[in-house]
Amino acid sequence: MQLNALRKTGIGCVILLLLTACDVVGLDSNGKPVIPADPSAGPDYSNQTPAQIAQAFWAPKVLPAAHAQALDWTALKQAQGQVKGVDGKSVYTRFSGKVTAVDADGLERKLTLSVNNEPVTLQLGPIIRGNAVRDAAGFLRFEDFKNQVQFAQVAKALNKQALSGLPAVDGGWVGQQVDVLAAVTLRADSIDDAVALELKWGTAQ
């Protein structure tokens, strides 16, 4: 009797030790184990469309980042002077300029400004070239997406999201002074793929 009691006590102790040494896994409504998310894993965008990803990021992350990181014109030119190679560097920037031309026809409409006597062309879409809006953000990384196609589609969706918040632009803007918050790609000898995130204009100069 004493031997059996000791055996039962020993087995009970082993079970108790095993239970206390392991994390208890909860069960869902179907009785299946709930596996905790891997804290080292990146975000999962597999069930979201590029448009949904862009919309989810826009107001809470992209716009605040653009406002916080925007370089003024002097800092922008300094950053341009540091660009090496052909790939370029995408950044957010804020500047003012006088509208010198508006191309409001076709699929690649454009607004050209004179900023410190240098022309800067903003793309008005609907076709937008480049990935400046996505790449300037810094927190949207290729490894977080399932493939290159989805990563490129998110860039296009962000460009479209940017355009959706802009006012209508026509020939009446020529001669107006405009304040711009934009994403641009800097290259050693040019400012390319500029996309406005905000456009505000006032009186003619």
Q: What is the pLDDT of residues 145-198, one digit of tens each?
A: 778 888 888 899 999 999 999 999 999 999 999 999 999 999 999 999 999 999
Output the CA–CA distances (angstroms, integers) from residue 110 to 107, 128, 163, in the order listed.
9, 10, 12
Cβ–Cβ contacts within 10 Å for residue 117, how many? 7
Any domain includes 67: yes
Q: Which two tokens stand for residue 142?
A: 């290729």
Looking up residue 137, the CATH number of its domain turns out to be 2.40.50.140
Torsion sign across C-alpha atoms 85, 90, 93, 95: positive
Q: Which structural domain range is residue 61 located in?
A: 51-204
Any domain includes 182: yes
Do residues 88 and 155 make contact, with C-beta atoms less than 8 angstroms apart? no
* Mean of pLDDT values over 5-21: 46
The whole-angstrom separation of Cα 20 and Cα 23 is 8
Any domain includes 187: yes
pLDDT, residue 71, reads: 97
The whole-angstrom separation of Cα 97 and Cα 172 is 15
Any domain includes 17: no
Burial class (CB in 10 A: 0-12, 13-18, 19+), 153: middle
Q: What is the pLDDT of residues 109-143, one digit of tens each?
A: 999 999 999 999 999 999 999 999 999 998 878 77
Counting the structural domains of the chain, the total is: 1
Do residues 79 and 186 make contact, with C-beta atoms less than 8 angstroms apart? yes
Q: Would the pTM of this model clear 0.85, i.e. be above it? A: no
